[in-house]
Each structure stands twice: as C-alpha cells, then as structure tokens.
Amino acid sequence: MKNNQSYTFRVWAPLKQAMILHLIQPEEKKLAMNRESDGYFSLTIENVPVGTRYFYMPDGEKDFPDPMSHYQPEGVHGASQVVFHHEFTWTDADWCGLPFEQLVMYELHPGTFTPEGNLEAIIAYLDDLVTLGVNAIELMPVAQFPGNRNWGYDGVYPYAVHNSYGGPDGLKMLVDACHSKGIAVFLDIIYNHLGPEGNYLAAFGPYFSGKYHTPWGDALNFDDAWCDGVRDYFANNMLHWFTHYHIDGLRADAVHEVYDRGAVPFWEYCYHKVQELQQQAGRPLYLVAESDLNSPHVIKHPEAGGWGFTAQWLDDFHHALYVLVDKKGIEHYGDFGRMQQLVKAFKEGFVHSGEYVQFRKRRHGASSAGIHGNRFVVFSQNHDIVGNRPTGERLSVLTSFAQLKLAAAAVLLSPYVPMLFMGEEYAAETPFCFFADYSEQQLRDSLIEGRKKEFAAFNWEVDPPDALSEQVYHNCKLQWQQRNTGRHQVMLRWYTQLIVLRKKQALLSNLNKNNIYITAIGEDGCVVHRQDDRGTQHLFCGFNFSEKSLSYPLPLAGKTWQKLLDSTEQQWQVEEERAFVQEMPQRPILITDTDEMVLPPYGVVVYLAV
C-alpha cells in the first residue's frame, strides 16, 4: 500500500464563482480549486496521505462535506475522507454473476440482521443462507444517514457507505465473501429524495426543483435548468456501486417519484450507462424497480418506449396473497380479497390493469399479460410491509403456522423471482419497526408527530413506538438462536424444502408463463397447472386458503401422479396443528387418474405426472 498518492478533488457547483478545498487532516490547508467549463471545480494534489479528511467551501464562505464523499467517518456533518478504492484486494476475479431468473433473493437490514449491526458481521451467516437455498441478498440502503441507526432511506451521501456499518471496506469484504459462496449482492438505492439532516446539496448547486413535489418535499432536478450535473451525479452513482464494490444489482426505490419530462428520461439515461459498463465488465448488471405505476413501460427496453429495468417488485401479488392469508388484511387492502385476483397475479402480474381502484379513486394500471415471469420479484413480506405496521408485526404473529406455510409456498412456487425478508424463513417473531437517530430536535419532534398522524389516517388502533428509541431498534434485531428450536426449526426446513423443489423441478424453475394454467376453486383456493413446451410434462400446485378441505379432479386420463409436497405431512407439523391434521385422511404417495387432489385446510399440495 502506498502511503501517499495522487488524488483529484472534484465537485459540481455551476452557480458558484469559486471553490476552496479545505484540508483538515493530517495537515490543515485551504487551496483554491480550478473552475472548469461544465460547472465543476477540480484540483489534483500529489502525495495525498491515506486518511486525508477535507471540506469544500463554496465561494469560500463555509465548510461543507463533499456531496460525492465516499466516506463520512464522523457522520453527516463531519469532514469527508479520501478513499483509495484500488487498495482493497478482491478475490472474486472468477465471479461471472448469476442469471436473474435463477435467483432466490433475501432482503436484509445491515443493522438488525446481526447482533453487531455491521456489514462484516453478515459474513458469518452466509453459510446458513446457502444451506437455505438463497443465492442473492438485497441490502437495504447503506448510504450515509444521520446517526447510528436508520432504515437507510434518510441517506444524504449516496456515494458513502455508512460509518457504523463499517464504511467502504465493510461492504467490500461482504461482497467478496458473498461471491466466494455463489451469492449475488443487490443494493437498495434512493434517487427520489434525500434525508432531512445533513442534506447540503443545495449549498453547491440546483439539485432540487420546485417544478414537482414528492412526499418528501421538492423533487430532485432531473429536467430543469442545470439538470445535467444532477443527472450525472445520480446515474454515475450506479456505476460507482458496480465498479468499486462489485455489486451485482441495484433496487431503485419508488421510481415513480422521479420526475423527468426530457427526451431521454432519467431512468433510460441510467439504463444506457449501465449497459455500456456491463459490456466492459463482462458480467450481468441488474436494475430492479420499486414502482406503484402498474405500468409495463418500467420493465420494457427503451427501444420499446420503456425505462429498461431488469424487473420490478410486484406489490399486487403480495396484496392479493396477503388478504387471502390474513382475512383482517382487507381493512388495509380494501381493493383486494377475491381469489380471481390471486389467479390474475399468478398468470399476468398486475392485478390492477386499468380497473377502477377505490384506494386511488380512479382507474389504475395497464396489463402485464404476456410479460415473462423473470421481470417480476414477488414476496409475502418485505421491509415496508412489516415496518409500516404500527408495531412492526411480521406475518408470523398475525396468522397461524399453516397459513405461514401457505404464504411461503405461494411465493416460492410462483412463476416469478422470489424474495424473502430476513427471518421469515424461520418464522421470526421479532418486530421490524421504523427507527431513526436524528440529532436535530425539530426533526425528532416532527418525526414522532408525523408518524402518529400517518397511522391515525390509516385507522390503526395503536400508536407506533418511539422511532427514535435505541431500545426499539435493538428489539428489531434478529434472534438467530430461534432457528434451531420448535416451530422455528420446522418452518426453516419447510422453506428449505420449497426452495429445493423449486430448483429441482424444471417446471417450477421455468418462468415462462405461457404454459401456466390457473383455476380458482370458488373463493377458497386455486390450482396452478404447469407444463412444458411440448405438453408432455405436467405439475399441479394446489393452494387452499379456507378452513375446510377442498378437492380438485386431476385430469389427463392414464397418468400416474406422484405427490411431491404436502403441508399436512407430520414432518411439517407443530403441536398446534397435529390434533387437527390427524383427522385428515392420509393420501398415498402415488395415486391414479381416478383420484382427486385433496387440498387440506390452509394447505398446499404438489403433484407431478410420472
């Protein structure tokens, strides 16, 4: 490692007349920077010591951290630190990535996934995820946010890995370890807003525009005067994660809150930049969207008028599934609750594809029929779904064990890319509440009052816990020791078996929905029939969302059927279910075409034609 190296300091401030580089460590200096023609100021210095810290002074008036800081060791208000990315020794030269359609994703929060609450500590649990069958983790945002605990959506330095998470080296060590075990790494990014504390972008330039407004205030400036620098600031941030941290994919938060009426919309601009880098890197680089538009253009290629995302989260699948699993869900998802909606979610994707939606008081969405299953990511839980409940309850404390198994099977046997939320694989009961750590009293007061009003508007019967409490944060940390005991161990084995089945059976791992046929059994259940392109192989998945047994006649005369999975088998039971299950007739392993598929209450069965 070289102790002193050349380094170029560069910052965009198109409306400023001058810029001072204020070096504060190891030796204090104030140096005038050179103005460039495109709104940037730069200065190259030889012999920059490792660990050098600095501020910028727009027009020489006041110290501000670098908007493109790669490390904020003292938090959002402190000095920025120079990072020499090439100093890290990578061992993943042979890593070529994984096909998107083969992923089993796992969303986790770096601060609550382990007792230590940092990125390096996650490495010790990677073997557990591999055994489970997970081959991709999705990290909630790691960009520098105020304080030591936060969901990550209050980040104000998009290029900096949070100091309490272990900074740049912490993320690099995790990614390198993941790749060594065959795990891809996705990272959550936020380009629709910045957090309220430590947000100094406006001190440098017109990063925000009053033309549009978001739930967080003025929108970022992607199409107004001086927007070129803003577009590059965020688009190049994608390249930053792919290049310096070997990230495999990025999940973009709320893409519908990015406003750009230009000829080349911001997301299309990012697509082309990432495509160019992908050709150079020689491995796939994925972009996944969170969008509530229900519009296929999000995942269509720009040549077809789209934004070019690899895939998007399919919220409609969750809503349709959740209301059937937890009947009380209708109180919060009033536009869902019918079996035909789950059938549509399985077959087409978007449930709302132009129909009137009561929640929005208007028609919403367009059809996604015919779009390949690898363009959608589905889940029964995620950070928003759990965390936006007042006390952060997981599905494991809202439903029965049988219903949990049912929800897991619907996701993992679906024709989409599945994603788990950390801990659900063993029915974790720890809450996942919203938490933050603002230092400014006005922000602290506004957060508490704002959340009370928000939950009151949604008719929740309880107030949320104090999001600023350190104890609330610690209560959200996973209790990993539960995985090996009682009902938690049974659920872990259930998830593992589902993933094995998904990967082993070609009809389940094939996400081409053209050969999928779905039949609703009234409002109580549905059967998903999957076959190969030649129509010679057949597999049936039966889901029962009711308290009574259902039956479905297995077609195809002359076929013999092998039962691959039955959620009522003793190995998948816990004490609360066994007395009830013993009353159910036991089905033989092999049955003939004259029999019917019996779907036990809140049960799942899978049959393969042999």
CATH number at residue 32: 2.60.40.10
Answer yes or no: do 263 and 410 share one domain: yes
Give the tens place of pLDDT for each residue, 340-359: 999 999 999 999 999 999 99
Asked if residue 592 has pLDDT above 50, the reply is no
pLDDT of residue 458: 64
Residues annotated as catalytic are 253, 290
Percent of the chain surpassing pLDDT 70: 95
Give the tens place of pLDDT for each residue, 23-33: 999 999 999 99
Q: Which residues are annotated as a binding site for substrate?
A: 251-256, 315-319, 383-388
Give the tens place of pLDDT for each residue, 268-304: 999 999 999 999 999 999 999 999 999 999 999 999 9
| pLDDT bracket for residue 557 (50, 70, 90) | low
Answer yes or no: do 450 and 566 share one domain: no
DSSP 337-366: --HHHHHHHHHTS-S-SSSEETTTTEE---
The β-bridge relationship of strands 136-139 and 40-49 is unpaired
Rounded distance, CA 457 to CA 357, Å? 19
**Contact call for residues 19 and 33 (beta carbons, < 8 A):** yes
C-alpha distances out from residue 14 to 29, 42, 68, 236, 259, Å: 24, 12, 15, 18, 22
**Contact call for residues 53 and 66 (beta carbons, < 8 A):** no
Query: Of 498, 530, 548, at which residue does a domain stop?
Result: 498
| pLDDT bracket for residue 3 (50, 70, 90) | low
Ranges of beta strands (E only) in 197-263 are 208-214, 217-220, 249-252
Rounded distance, CA 83 to CA 163, Å? 13
**Is residue 431 one of the residues assigned to a domain?**
yes
The residues with which 539 forms a beta bridge, in sequence order, are 530, 608
Answer yes or no: do 468 and 523 share one domain: no
> How far from the centroid of its chain's Cα atoms is residue 22's Cα?
38
3-state secondary structure 539-575: EEEEEECCCCCEEEECCCCCCEEEEEEECCCHHHCCH
3-state secondary structure of 297: helix
DSSP 413-461: TSSSEEEEETTGGGT------------SHHHHHHHHHHHHHHHHHTT-S
Answer yes or no: do 484 and 513 share one domain: no
Rounded distance, CA 269 to CA 231, Å? 8
Answer yes or no: do 487 and 537 share one domain: no
- DSSP category for residue 83: -
**Is residue 77 one of the residues assigned to a domain?**
no
Give the tens place of pLDDT for each residue, 302-320: 999 999 999 999 999 999 9
Answer yes or no: do 373 and 477 share one domain: yes
**Is residue 452 one of the residues assigned to a domain?**
yes
| pLDDT bracket for residue 594 (50, 70, 90) | very low
Ramachandran quadrant class, 491 (left: phi over 0; alpha: psi -120 to 50; beta: rest): alpha
Rounded distance, CA 573 to CA 524, Å? 22
- Domain range spanning residue 547? 509-609
Answer yes or no: do 115 and 15 share one domain: no
**Contact call for residues 52 and 142 (beta carbons, < 8 A):** no
- Mean pLDDT for the stretch of residues 79-101: 97
**Is residue 209 one of the residues assigned to a domain?**
no
Written as six digits, the tokens of 72 are 């904020």
**pTM surpassing 0.75?**
yes
**Is residue 97 one of the residues assigned to a domain?**
no
pLDDT of residue 463: 79
**Is residue 206 one of the residues assigned to a domain?**
no
Rounded distance, CA 114 to CA 451, Å? 27
| pLDDT bracket for residue 2 (50, 70, 90) | low
Query: Of 470, 498, 526, at which residue does a domain stop?
Result: 498
| pLDDT bracket for residue 591 (50, 70, 90) | very low
Which residue's structure tokens are 């190995």? 571
- Mean pLDDT for the stretch of residues 371-383: 98
CATH number at residue 344: 3.20.20.80
3-state secondary structure of 206: coil
pLDDT of residue 578: 59
H/E stretch holding 29 reads strand 29-32
Answer yes or no: do 363 and 441 share one domain: yes
Answer yes or no: do 574 and 440 share one domain: no
Give the tens place of pLDDT for each residue, 115-138: 999 999 999 999 999 999 999 999
- DSSP category for residue 14: T
Average pLDDT, the chain: 93
Answer yes or no: do 308 and 370 share one domain: yes
Look at the chain and report how many structural domains it folds into.
3
CATH number at residue 574: 2.60.40.1180
| pLDDT bracket for residue 593 (50, 70, 90) | very low
Query: Of 467, 498, 529, at which residue does a domain stop?
Result: 498
H/E stretch holding 274 reads helix 266-281
Which residue's structure tokens are 């009370």? 452
**Contact call for residues 415 and 346 (beta carbons, < 8 A):** yes
pLDDT of residue 454: 72
b/e burial code for range 500-521 (CB count within 10 A of at least 16 → b)? ebbeebebbebbebebbebebb
The residues with which 604 forms a beta bridge, in sequence order, are 543
Q: Which residues are annotated as a binding site?
A: 251-256, 315-319, 383-388
Nearest to 375 by CA among 137, 100, 97: 100
Q: Of residues 187 and 534, which shows the higher confidence score?
A: 187
pLDDT of residue 449: 82
- Mean pLDDT for the stretch of residues 553-557: 78
Answer yes or no: do 360 and 332 share one domain: yes
b/e burial code for range 343-354 (CB count within 10 A of at least 16 → b)? bbbbebbbbbbe
Rounded distance, CA 161 to CA 499, Å? 32
H/E stretch holding 604 reads strand 604-609
C-alpha distances out from residue 562 to 106, 557, 566, Å: 31, 15, 11
Amino acid identity, residue 37? S
pLDDT of residue 427: 98
pLDDT of residue 595: 66
Asked if residue 550 has pLDDT above 50, the reply is yes
**Is residue 136 one of the residues assigned to a domain?**
yes
CB atoms within 10 A of CB 40: 17
CB-based contacts of 387, cutoff 8 Å, min separation 6: 151, 432, 433, 434
Asked if residue 246 has pLDDT above 90, the reply is yes
b/e burial code for range 464-489 (CB count within 10 A of at least 16 → b)? bbebbeeebbebbbbebebbeeebbe
3-state secondary structure 120-162: HHHHHHHHHHHHHCCCEEEECCCEECCCCCCCCCCCCEEEEEC
Answer yes or no: do 378 and 324 share one domain: yes
| pLDDT bracket for residue 588 (50, 70, 90) | very low
**Is residue 60 one of the residues assigned to a domain?**
yes
**227-245 and 266-281 are packed helices; what angle lies between their axes, rounded to 10 degrees?**
30
b/e burial code for range 435-449 (CB count within 10 A of at least 16 → b)? bbbbeeeebbeebee
C-alpha distances out from residue 328 to 49, 322, 331, 334, 398, Å: 60, 9, 6, 10, 9
pLDDT of residue 331: 85
